[in-house]
Amino acid sequence: MPLIVNLDVVMAKRKMSLNELSEKVGLTQANLSILKTGKAKAVRFSTLESICRVLECQPGDLLEYREDVAE
């Protein structure tokens, strides 16, 4: 899939663990892990909004489109 999820990169820049993000966003670590690894098939705008609010970033910081990525 040519959509790349950079959640781990943004979390590292903010020095935030998956556990801490999970608590602040109100999602399970398992669901965040699925999103972080790019295995999620969809993401709710409310979830994206919460993650962006907690990480103080824009949706474009978390998601990237690249045609050259093999599925």
In a domain, 52, yes or no: yes
- pLDDT above 60 (res 71): no
In a domain, 71, yes or no: no
**CATH code of the domain covering residue 23:** 1.10.260.40
In a domain, 13, yes or no: yes
- pLDDT above 90 (res 2): no
Burial 56-69 (b: 16+ CB within 10 A, else e): ebeeebbeeeeeee
In a domain, 30, yes or no: yes
Task: Specify the pLDDT at position 67.
Answer: 85
Number of domains in the chain: 1
40-52: pLDDT as tens digits: 999 999 999 999 9
Instruction: Give 38 or 57, the one with higher predicted confidence.
Output: 57
- pLDDT above 70 (res 62): yes
